[in-house]
Amino acid sequence: MFDFEFQNPTRIVFGKNSVAKLDALVPADARVLVLFGGSSAERTGTLAEVRAALGKRERREFGGIEPNPTYETLMRAVELVRAEKLNFLLAVGGGSVIDGTKFVAAAAGFEGDPWRILETFGGAVTSALPFGTVLTLPATGSEMNHNAVVTRASTHTKAFFANPLVFPKFSVLDPTKTYTLPSNQLANGVVDAFVHVVEQYLTYPVEGLVQDRFAEGLLRTLIEVGPKAVLEPRVDYDTRANLMWSATMALNGVIAAGVPQDWATHLVGHELTALYGIDHARTLAIILPAMLGLRRDAKRAKLLQFAARVWDITDGGEDERIDQAIEKTRTFFESLGVKTHLSDYNIGADAIDGLVAKLEEQGLTKLGERQDVTPTIARRVYEASL
């Protein structure tokens, strides 16, 4: 196992009616900016609950943060924070609103051009406003990590940053908040969480027995509860609670500690969102099967472990078992209604030059757990995803 330090300071407040606990979580003298996305937070009544819980605190609201939040929109929130001297942020929404709030938190006091935060992958951040979250979509883990992804609309650049200063102070996780999600968003959440685990698990063995079993437990849980959440018309609290907690645990640092990490599928997938607007999770479902198939030699030991322990595949030669595990993964995504080929989105081979150029432009030329996913390999992955 690799050496590691682990600290996650985010307080999780989990359960039914937990939004009311905001009163105890947000400082009484805070000047709060509530950030949210489109109409769903208002329509579902979550914003009304938030307003009631915040009571008489000084409060402003900033709506309209898009899925895949844009720098341009977020900078308007930064201006509002600065102009009104707001000192606490509260994100109400899914990964997009939470990521956007992290950027606003880091940019509010930033001296110089805030795009530097993304250009330095978060290294330039020296302070951040405190913030909490009310999670409405289980998927990204953003509610308990220090990562964020922001898109610059003017250049179609999807960039990420990470910094320990942007861990949420707290996150309110009420599984009943997922009841209003359409099935395609639930499916996105299952796939996103699944691929997060894979990026931290399916690399090469380092005798991280705890991390491996933890990761396999999360994958098996998602395979169990995912179809129930997405396909069954009856809404079941425990299914949603397990989905929500799996998604949080998938990317809060626990399973990443002391093991190699990949993330090539995410970065190669980001360009599909940046250039074609495909939902984040759907880009992962397209890229992952091709990525695993092409990198099977470097990942052989873990792919065989994945086949045996996650999919119960033990018969056949090595490549046969690996093929079956990749196929089972693809079928799992497709069974949730998440397509796994570029052609499903009318994207053809003529798009690949532009996708590879976008990766190169951002300096993303050495990806993966061994930094051997070069633009040439990325090109082959896109080709195998057609």
Ligand X SMILES: NC(=O)c1ccc[n+]([C@@H]2O[C@H](COP(=O)([O-])OP(=O)(O)OC[C@H]3O[C@@H](n4cnc5c(N)ncnc54)[C@H](O)[C@@H]3O)[C@@H](O)[C@H]2O)c1
Question: Where do contacts with ligand X occur on this chain (CB under 6 A)?
Answer: 37-38, 40, 44, 67-68, 93-97, 99, 136-137, 139-142, 145, 147-149, 177-178, 180-181, 185, 188, 192, 251, 280
- In the complex, the smallest distance separating the C-beta of residue 278 from ligand X, rounded to whole angstroms, is 11
- 187 or 304: whose CB is closer to ligand X? 187
Question: Which tokens go with 65?
Answer: 């943060």
**For residues 175 and 260, which CB has a smaller minimum distance to ligand X in the complex?**
175
68 vs 380, beta carbon nearer ligand X: 68
Question: Smallest distance from the beta carbon of 315 to ligand X, in angstroms?
Answer: 35
Task: Compute CA distances 116 → 66, 73, 119, 347, whole Å.
Answer: 21, 17, 5, 32
- Shorter beta-carbon distance to ligand X: residue 59 or 177: 177
Instruction: Annotate 260-323 with DSSP letters as a single string.
Output: ----HHHHHHHHHHHHH---HHHHHHHHHHHHHHHTTTTTHHHHHHHHHHHH---SS-HHHHHH
Q: To the nearest whole angstrom, how small is the minimum distance from the Cβ of residue 327 to ligand X? A: 25
143 secondary structure, DSSP code:
G
Q: For the CB of residue 271, give the shortest distance to ligand X in the complex, in Å.
A: 12
The helix/strand/coil state of 193 is helix
Tokens of 55: 């009571």
Cα separation, 365 vs 357, whole angstroms: 10
Shortest distance, CB of residue 92 to ligand X, whole angstroms?
Answer: 9
- Name the residue nearer to ligand X (CB basis): 38 or 337: 38
DSSP string, 56-125: TSEEEEE--PPSS-BHHHHHHHHHHHHHHT--EEEEEESHHHHHHHHHHHHHTT--S-THHHHHTTTTT-
Residue whose CB is less far from ligand X, 178 or 242? 178
Torsion over CA: 99, 104, 106, 111 (sign): positive
CA 383 – CA 87 distance, rounded (Å)? 48
3-state secondary structure of 173: strand
What is the rounded CA–CA span in Å between residue 289 and residue 327? 8
Q: Which is nearer to ligand X, 266 or 321 (CB)?
A: 266
Amino acid letter, 63:
G
At its nearest, how many Å lie between ligand X and the CB of residue 307?
A: 25
CA dist., res. 335 & res. 171, Å (int): 31
| Residue closer to ligand X, measured from CB, 192 or 369 | 192
CB 210 within 8 A of CB 5: no
Residue 205: CB minimum distance to ligand X, A = 25
Cα atoms in the Cβ-side hemisphere of radius 13 Å centred on 184: 6
Of residues 140 and 385, the one with the C-beta less far from ligand X: 140
94 or 114: CB nearest ligand X? 94
Nearest distance from residue 263's CB to ligand X, in Å?
A: 10
Provide, rounded to whole angstroms, the least separation between the CB of residue 297 and ligand X: 28
Q: Report yes or no: 140 and 247 within 8 Å, Cβ to Cβ.
A: yes
Work out how close the CB of 359 gets to ligand X at its nearest, in angstroms, rounded to a whole number: 15
Residue type for 248, please? T
